[in-house]
A and B are shown apart, each in its own frame.
Chain A
Amino acid sequence: MTNQKHDFPWVTIEDLAPDARFSLRVGEAGRDRAGLTLGLSLPTGVSNVVRHGERAVVCLGPDEWLVTAPEGERDAIVEAFATIYDQTPHSLVEISDRELTYRITGPAAFTLMTIGCPRDLSRLTPGRAVRTVFDGATVILWRDAEDAFRLDVWRSFAPHVRDLLDTGRAELAAGL
């Protein structure tokens, strides 16, 4: 079984190392200040992503952002937001441990995503990310390139999603 997986180069599924992740909620009045605190300008418009160094921020809703950063930057982010709290009311919740991330790459990555995601993924252009659903589980789907995706999956759903991805990959490998 293991060999068979390695013999199929069209799609690769990897577990990624943990990142620091935060859920940021802030109203329109505090948006600029919150962005500045991260060293960037918060993206507006659902699905838009802004990157700064190794930090990435995706707009998930009209007043909701997901912030990802290397684990080493976690404390600095928490401290920076604590200093603006009295001037700029917001909610910054650390959710690093809530989700696991899978990376799906290769020429068949797009096809593999379609087995669980009902969206028209051709309209999710590279560089953007959305919260959507993957076979019933809420996920954050990042499209990093034409044939590179990342899935942030809540821990309790992760075994189900991973099994489904592995099954889909095996079916693609078998030419189904």
Chain B
Amino acid sequence: MLLIHCPYCDETLPELEFAYAGEAHIERPKDPSALSDEEWRDFLFIRTNPKGTHYERWRHVHGCARYFNAARDTVSDKFLTTYRAGEARPDLDRKEAAE
């Protein structure tokens, strides 16, 4: 079973307590009516789907109930890091160099 670190509980807990909630850092356009249909479609439906590091939202639904963000490698399924909602994407290269 995957273990996920919740940045609010500050504990590493079983995946069963968490729910996946889609890609992270997708900002709702400030003025949707100014967008073309294609831009609106991209906002609603088009996701990066990378092979490698993916920034995504998770919710500690059976726990503190908070949403937070995670960087996960979609090839190995390993969580690289987790961080609180609202924080900037962590610089993973620098993090790796430090380790």
A45 to B6, CA, bound (A): 12
**Do the beta carbons of A118 and B1 come within 8 Å of each other?**
yes
User: Within 8 Å of chain A (Cβ to Cβ): is B40?
Assistant: no
**Do the beta carbons of A133 and B9 come within 8 Å of each other?**
no
User: Within 8 Å of chain A (Cβ to Cβ): is B80?
Assistant: no
The stretch from B12-20, B24-32, B69-77, B88-96 touching chain A is B12-20
* Across the A-B interface, the 3 shortest Cβ-Cβ residue pairs: A61-B64, A133-B62, A118-B14
A98 to B65, CA, bound (A): 18
A45, A62, A64, A131: the one within 8 Å of B62 (CB): A131
**Do the beta carbons of B17 and A62 come within 8 Å of each other?**
no
A60, A61, A133: the one within 8 Å of B17 (CB): A133
Q: How large is the interface on B (under 10, 10 to 19, 20 to 34, 35 or more residues)?
A: 10 to 19
- Could you write out 9 A-B pairs with CB less than 8 Å apart? A45-B10, A46-B63, A47-B9, A47-B11, A61-B66, A118-B1, A119-B13, A130-B63, A131-B64
**Do the beta carbons of B8 and A62 come within 8 Å of each other?**
yes
B8, B14, B64, B66: the one within 8 Å of A119 (CB): B14
From A138, which residue of chain B is reached at the shortest CB distance?
Answer: B62
A61 to B64, CA, bound (A): 4
Question: Interface code B50-61, partner A: CB below 8 Å = 1, 0 otherwise?
Answer: 000000000001
